[in-house]
Chains A and B, each alone.
Chain A
Amino acid sequence: MTPHAPTQGSTIIRVCTGSGCAMNGSLEVADAFEAAIAQAGANDSVRVVRTGCHGMCGSGPIVTVAPDGVFYPKVTLDRVTRIVERLVADGGYVSEFLFRPAEDAEPIVHYADVPFNAAQRRIVLRRCGVVDPEDIDDALALGAYDGLRKALETLDPDSLIEQVKASGLRGRGGAGFLTGQKWRFTRDASGEVKYVICNADEGDPGAFMDRSVIESDPHSVLEGMAIAAYAIGAHEGYVYVRAEYPLAVKRLRIAIAQAEEKGFLGEDILGSGFCFEVKVREGAGAFVCGEETALIASIEGKRGMPKVRPPFPATSGLWGKPTCINNVETLANIAWIVVEGAEAYASIGTGDSKGTKVFALTGKVRYSGLVEVPMGMTVRDLVYGIGGGCAEGRDCKAVQIGGPSGGCLPFELLDTLIEYEALTEVGAIVGSGGMVVVDHETCMVDFARYFLTFTQEESCGKCIPCRIGTKRMLEIVTRITEGEGQEGDIEKLEKLARDVKNASLCGLGQTAPNPMLTTIHYFREEYEEHIRSRYCRAGACTALSHYVIDAGLCKGCAVCKKHCPVGAIWGELKQPHTISAERCIKCGACVEHCPFNAIKRV
């Protein structure tokens, strides 16, 4: 055992240094813990481990204390000394720094009892937030590369592929293709040279599960790649990761170097004679480069533009060779399946959706972050049970699942199961796992506009329906949010959406209309209100609302007048004031400053 391994009886303070917590100052917090431990003379009994993400990014910096699993959210520098003092004194915790589900609620002491964690099932994220991602020994102590060892020592490639097939694992990158089947195709494809590619492009806005996995437990991904390579007969692999993820790139490089040194990558792995080398390729952050043929073009040094399939990468991929391309999360499942067995994996989930799925839960939800849940859970259990529902006890209005390719489920459909088929039926997709919760302050037309803006900008421009069709849809939707919608626009949008879906070359165009289509389907009246009554019920479309001062409440204090940047407010002191609709730029400064809440947006 190495000094960093979590040995029995020793105390470890785990400070999350994932991107979210680091941004909230966790790196300084970790340093402070070390200083405080030294000060208390406890260097021998207490250690600090800098881990990757726990998922609870909204509550960072996150600190847990092993072996008891005491959980401290939002740990600021000024809390460090007291936590250490108490720990050194009697091994106890500081109650007032513990997590409370509500202000007046009893604190929850242990990490595992926090509702955010209690309902999760962590396979992909099994070591995330636990191990130091820059120290392979930490990961090894928790079973890293056991799967690779087992595969090399006890399974031939064919039975390995059968295992993965039997587990029911489907690709987590969006399309949900059976992973074992893909491996089978690649293995069976003719050719001496084959490649494994890990797709870590993760371009969907709001998605960060792949980044988190790589930042927190890069070895789970590398191990998955090595097992895949053994299964399909590849000796070279690439991780295609966006350059905007510098920490992930750095940790990946460290992990590769450490794994090579320990003999888990490179020549003659674990004495089996099998060789496998992994290279990192940084992408320049184009969403379309997550599409497999565009990704391959990008690795080849060409412009990232999709190609018509077939041929599929499994038969003709990177440099024309059979290539198995899998998502980060897909690969992070593999070692677990090999170690625990296909049946164990298939026992989680439902029908055609086995295992777990990681979601990036964001938006108007109380506890946002990364969650891993068994397939077959309802969307409601995820949003309310784990995410704690909407902030301030409001009802959520809709949940967007699957990012810019996905769909928007209304509140009434939250009991839909998280399954490939069930979600597709209601117009959403499991997709890569983005989940955005919105409440009544979000205008659904504006929401659709947001996603269309993204897909339009990210369209590669190759095919006509996607390049021009998304542009025209965006223009019409924008017009509607600006109060210039016309009768017939909704029908025009529906027709365009159908055409773009049917005629586009790649998945980007084929799914780009989904957010808009589902919002039209479930929130048609909001579109109609915008068009017919020039009314936005969410008050989000600035062109459709204006500010008025309630003369009954206004005391004529003139505070609003002082804060209006364009001089749109006038009135005598102590007399009700008025806002000029022509001048007003709807910045809302007056509303913020009025001490009597006399200004309303209507």
Chain B
Amino acid sequence: MTQAPAQIITLTIDGLPLEARAGQTVLEVCRENGIQIPTLCHDPRLEPYGACRLCIVQIEGVRGFPTSCTTRVAEGMSVTTNSPEIADLRRSIVELLLSDHELRCLSCDSAGACALQDIAYEFGIEESPYTGERHRVREGQDDNDLIERDYSKCILCGRCVRICHEVQGCDVVGYTDRGFEAIPNTPYALSLEAAGCEFCGQCVSTCPVGALTDKPSRYQGRVWETTRVESICGYCGVGCTVEYHVKDGRIISTGAPIGRGVNGGNLCAKGRYGWSFTHSPDRLTAPLVRRDGKLVEVTWDEAVRVVADNLARIRDEHGPGAVGGLASAKCTNEENYLFQKLLRTAIGTHNIDHCARL
């Protein structure tokens, strides 16, 4: 089926006549056209939410300050994304946030990749004019080896809660308490594991501040010390686009660039946290062939020849039924197809199975 092309809508943003597709949000159209709007609760992987209020704009004929992340474009709409009133409100929002934030940026793993830091910097806010109580930090959340939760830095954007619900369908964390005390947490403050967490780390990937961070990379390197190397995850046939954060030639953490590849920025537990083997001294880095009882490093061509010769010999001596193949979920569909073809046509056996059935 071919999809009907989206209806084109014309609107004006900051005086610029623009075209947009019906169904797009004002924020999306702004971003596509290089118009900057600060956001904290927005993640393109999630449904519009409208909680942080930073993306407010003014729209002709609409009362107050609607949020651009939740407002769909309409024909003839006229949007102002920045005015003294908007700037003032945005600044106040950030000032309020900072008055309730543990400013431990010095040792925060998110420093340099923190949306709050960036926005405060952009607005030139040195200090919040407001002081007062800060919301509680809960004890006993350091209950696993992968995800570090420090809710004293949480800005309640709800992204972790939403990604766990909307994308993962796991509902491990939700909001608890109300008012100033509101905070995301597991039911009855259970440990993540007890609450059914699969440790995909999607919450970490969406947290815009340092409230959720990867434990394996704690204190391993600042964001600006790492290079980002895009690659394909080798764990399974899906072929997710990953981005390795590399410092001094070693991976210290993994991410996935939002909107890229088949996964669009999402990763599973293995892809996100299962990379420590990369630097394992036990890891095979070249094919080995046993010669005179000893494993000897050979070229790929040599190794493949040894395997082919042996398979042909076994087939000839013992018949095709003596050979069986076990395919792998690490391979793509196409590779698995070719593998069964090899067994069925070159070897001549139906002895073919797959690890996914084990």
Identify the A interface with B (CB < 8 A).
Answer: 286, 288, 303, 305, 307-308, 456-465, 467-472, 475, 492, 495-496, 499, 502-505
Contacts and interface: CB of A to CB of B under 8 A. Distances in A.
Interface stretch (B95-103, B269-277, B280-288): B95-103
Interface in B157-174: 158, 174
A398 to B, nearest CB: 26
A368 to B, nearest CB: 29
Contacts of A495: 92
Contacts of B64: 502
Contact of A465 (B53, B70, B133, B179): B53
B337 interface: no
Given A463-B50, A502-B89, 7 more contacts: A456-B179, A456-B180, A463-B51, A464-B97, A467-B182, A468-B96, A472-B99
A354 B156 CA distance: 43
B345 to A, nearest CB: 52
Contacts of B67: 308, 505
B179 A457 contact: yes
Nearest to B175: A303
A472 B96 contact: yes
A422 B50 CA distance: 32
B290 interface: no
A475 B156 contact: no
Contacts of B50: 307-308, 463, 505
A464 B49 CA distance: 13
B89 A505 contact: no
A463 B53 contact: yes
A492 B155 CA distance: 23
A496 B132 CA distance: 14
Contact of A461 (B70, B93, B156): B156
Contact of B100 (A456, A463, A468): A468
Contacts of B51: 462-464, 505
B177 interface: yes
13 contacts: A459-B182, A460-B182, A461-B180, A468-B130, A471-B179, A472-B130, A475-B133, A492-B129, A499-B93, A502-B65, A503-B89, A503-B93, A505-B67
Contacts of B133: 471, 475
B279 interface: no
A46 to B, nearest CB: 51
Contacts of A464: 51-53, 93, 96-97, 155-156
B179 A462 contact: no
A286 B178 contact: yes
Contact of A308 (B70, B158, B182): B70
Contacts of A305: 175
B131 to A, nearest CB: 8
Contact of B178 (A457, A463, A505): A457
Interface of B: 48-53, 56, 64-67, 70, 85, 88-89, 92-93, 96-97, 99-100, 129-130, 132-133, 155-156, 158, 174-175, 177-183
Main secondary structure of the interface of B (DSSP, over half): loop
A467 B89 CA distance: 15
B69 to A, nearest CB: 9
Contacts of A492: 129
Contacts of A465: 53, 92-93, 96
B158 A462 contact: yes
Given A308-B48, A502-B89, A459 B179 contact: yes
Contacts of B156: 461-462, 464, 467
A393 to B, nearest CB: 40
Contacts of B179: 456-461, 467, 470-471
A515 to B, nearest CB: 17
A469 B96 contact: yes
Contacts of A458: 178-179
B182 A503 contact: no
Contacts of A286: 178
B180 A499 contact: no
Given A502-B65, A503-B89, A503-B92, A303 B174 contact: yes
Nearest to A454: B179
A461 B96 contact: no
A4 B56 CA distance: 60
Contacts of A467: 156, 179-180, 182
A303 B176 CA distance: 9
Q: Of residues A459, A469, A475, A502, which shows the largest number of chain B Cβ atoms within 10 Å of its Cβ?
A: A502
A459 B89 contact: no
Q: Which 6 A-B pairs have the closest CB atoms?
A: A461-B182, A308-B50, A468-B96, A499-B92, A308-B70, A475-B132
B197 to A, nearest CB: 19
Nearest to B90: A503
A462 B177 CA distance: 11
A354 B323 CA distance: 89
Contacts of B66: 308
Nearest to B156: A461
Contacts of A468: 96-97, 99-100, 130, 180
Contacts of A459: 178-180, 182
A239 to B, nearest CB: 24
Nearest to B177: A461
B38 to A, nearest CB: 12
B232 to A, nearest CB: 37
A460 B178 contact: yes
A471 to B, nearest CB: 4
Contacts of B132: 471-472, 475
A342 B79 CA distance: 41
A352 B304 CA distance: 88
B148 to A, nearest CB: 22
A86 B92 CA distance: 71
A505 B182 CA distance: 16
A469 to B, nearest CB: 6
A496 B92 CA distance: 8
Contacts of A288: 178
Contacts of B92: 465, 495-496, 499, 503
B53 A505 contact: yes
B303 to A, nearest CB: 57
Contacts of A307: 50
Most interface-central of A468, A499, A502 (chain B CB within 10 A): A468
A472 B180 CA distance: 10
A313 B280 CA distance: 56
B52 A463 contact: yes
B241 to A, nearest CB: 32
Contacts of B100: 468, 471
A471 B48 contact: no
Nearest to B165: A302
Contacts of B93: 464-465, 499, 503
A503 B99 contact: no
B98 to A, nearest CB: 10
Nearest to B96: A468
Contact of A471 (B53, B175, B180): B180
A495 to B, nearest CB: 8
A461 B177 CA distance: 8
A503 B180 contact: no
Given A308-B70, A461-B156, A471-B132, A503 B178 contact: no
A512 B273 CA distance: 45
A502 B56 CA distance: 10
A498 B257 CA distance: 39
